[in-house]
Amino acid sequence: MDRVDYKKGIVNMGDTARMIRCMKKAMNGEKLTLAFLGGSITQGCLSSTPETCYAYLTYQWWVESFPQAQLTYVNAGIGGTTSHLGVGRVEEDVLSAEPDFVIVEYSVNDSDGDPHFQETYESLVRRVLSAKKNPALLLVHNVRYDDGENAEDIHRPVGAHYQLPSVSMKSTIMEKVKEGVIKNREITTDDLHPNDLGHAMVANVICYYLDQIKEMAIRSEMPKINTILPAPITPNGYENATRYRNTDMVPVYCKGFEKDETPQSCVADCFKKGYAATQKGAKICFEVEGSSIAVQYRKTVRKPAPIAKLVIDGEEEKAVLLDANFEETWGDCLYLETVMEHGKPGKHSVCIEITETTDKDQESFYLVSLIVAG
């Protein structure tokens, strides 16, 4: 007997028109693209195979529910990343595929109570809802299985404001962990990433919701959808966020940084299309236009590694330290640091200079991208 009350997972049924429309198309045998955007849980970290992660299991629900449809699966999960990167890369990694159905999953990656992440999350939501095919959007709230924490408190108001379908592991799986009905180690080895059983449970929470929509779709005519978005509840300064890598940003000055032209194998092969440097004094500068700027670089577990400083508009007194040495042990981190938020709109110079190296450095300083908005 199933130990989870999946009905409790529906934290917001939402405006179901886009979902029903998507399923009606599937019933008619149309081509549909299903995309999943999030962090390491979406990527499938600690699932034994790519096919046993929740995203693929959810895709399988569509395959089995609508055998006549022609379905394409897009997994755009990248471990250790937030909705800030999500909104910066959603165009390239998700919307370029013209999806019909999108899941967004960032509730264990965004920091709870941080208005920055409520803003980037809302900007991401608006970006998806405004996409070409008016995709159906489902918000998924995963949870940490030791303390039950996540960013649901800042994400749920966004979902409610846009009447978005939302499901939660906090009110379902985690509830049973707290009761002792499910033991942590049955479903996760690190209290964050589900194992195969944990992924299956996450997929069941999602698919329970989809089952309800399927029943509605069977009885419904093709609905009209509302494409007019309400006014945002945050400053919404990231809706036009753009991620610049070495394929689309040319430095105005470069000494000692090398362009990495190694092919990128997949979305999760994330330390590609950047610039690398190893020598003290190496410097690279860009000119960007916006009011919010973030720098993305590799923090590595292979220490020691170089340290750099970032200076905007020549203001040395406001220099930001970029330390490539990662204090965690789980692996290299695709680190994203906000260096200007809601600053002066317009053109800005961004210069990064290597300031500290040792003869024992194990890795280069690797600049992955800049994300600019506003």
Q: Ramachandran region of residue 120, left (φ > 0), alpha (ψ -120 to 50) or beta? A: alpha
Give residue 54's identity as a one-letter amino acid code.
Y
Q: What is the C-alpha separation between 290 and 240, in angstroms, rounded?
A: 10
**242-373 has which CATH code?**
2.60.120.260
Nearest Cα to 200, choosing from 303, 348, 53?
53
Ordered per-residue pLDDT tens for the chain, 374 residues: 478 999 999 999 999 999 999 999 999 999 999 999 999 999 999 999 999 999 999 999 999 999 999 999 999 999 999 999 999 999 999 999 999 999 999 999 999 999 999 999 999 999 999 999 999 999 999 999 999 999 999 999 999 999 999 999 999 999 999 999 999 999 999 999 999 999 999 999 999 999 999 999 999 999 999 999 999 999 999 999 999 999 998 999 999 999 999 999 999 999 999 999 999 999 999 999 999 999 999 999 999 999 999 999 999 999 999 999 999 988 999 999 999 999 999 999 999 999 999 999 999 999 999 999 99
**6-219 has which CATH code?**
3.40.50.1110
Sorted by where each begins, the domain ranges of the chain are 6-219, 242-373
Would the pTM count as exceeding 0.85?
yes
Q: Token pair 């049955």 is at which residue?
A: 186
